[in-house]
Amino acid sequence: MDSQVARFEDVPQLYKRHVFACHTQRPPTHPRGSCGAAGAQPLWERLSSKIEAEGLSADVGFTASGCLGFCSAGPLMVVYPEGIWYRPSTPEDVDEIVEEHLKNGQLVDRLVMVFSRA
Amino acid sequence: MDSQVARFEDVPQLYKRHVFACHTQRPPTHPRGSCGAAGAQPLWERLSSKIEAEGLSADVGFTASGCLGFCSAGPLMVVYPEGIWYRPSTPEDVDEIVEEHLKNGQLVDRLVMVFSRA
């Protein structure tokens, strides 16, 4: 690069999409709740396996994250660069996110967590 | 939403930018290394504090992540939606990323980790 400031879009992208899935585990009685306590682990295992099984590993990054906030809404995951937050609760939900969003580039409306900023 | 498939860009964004910083800590002698062993913790504490001090908390999310890969290059962080990977090694590096990228929307060329896919 020369002395000019490069632009974001000039930087090669490692992944086409990058998934972050909350792995926070609090005790079941914890008042905040947690994605772990809401049953996240088997869902994220399926998500990770499905990404690989669908041959998406080179294009889709999968990273465990700490607390994403909104703990009572979990299990929560977010997909970038689109910035779409999903709250899957069944294996079928996970499969649909992989198939529709990660593979086909389509929003899975019914699983989106929509934020409204007051 | 109606029965039509919504588009990604129709979904309101929670954050303008979202930072994920690797918090993996392996023992110092571990052959893979880790961001933690490379001194990540004080850098991420500064990053988090600086985001708040600059008044960016409403626009910039900060989330701890698990291993992002490329362990020998750490400490590593990635900023979305731009998908820019940085490898800061000093407090000044962190400050520059906050000031230039997170606040002013400019790439910090000298700290970018560029990937070339063979």
Question: A49-85: per-residue pLDDT in tens?
Answer: 999 999 999 999 999 999 999 999 999 999 999 999 9
Distance (Å, whole) CA A24 – CA A10: 35
Q: How far apart are CA A34 and CA B18, in angstroms?
A: 20
Cβ within 8 Å of B, A 38-77: 63-68
Domain A23-113 has CATH 3.40.640.10: no
**Confidence (pLDDT) at B49:** 98
Give B74-113 as a DSSP string: -S-EEEETTTEEE---SHHHHHHIIIIIIIT----GGGB-
Answer whether B113's CB lies under 8 Å from B87's CB: yes
Q: Is the pTM of this model over 0.90?
A: yes
Low-confidence ranges of chain B (pLDDT < 50): 1-3, 118
The complex's ipTM works out to: 0.92
Three-state DSSP class for A79? Answer: strand
Q: How many contacts (CB atoms, under 8 Å) link A and B?
A: 98
Chain A residues lying within 8 Å of B68, measured CB to CB: 63
Q: Which residues of B touch A63 (CB under 8 A)?
A: 20, 65-68
Q: Provide the pLDDT for residue A114.
A: 85
Distance CA B38, CA B41 (A): 9
CB of A114 within 8 Å of a chain B CB? The answer is yes
Check CB contact of B118 with chain A, cutoff 8 Å. Answer: no
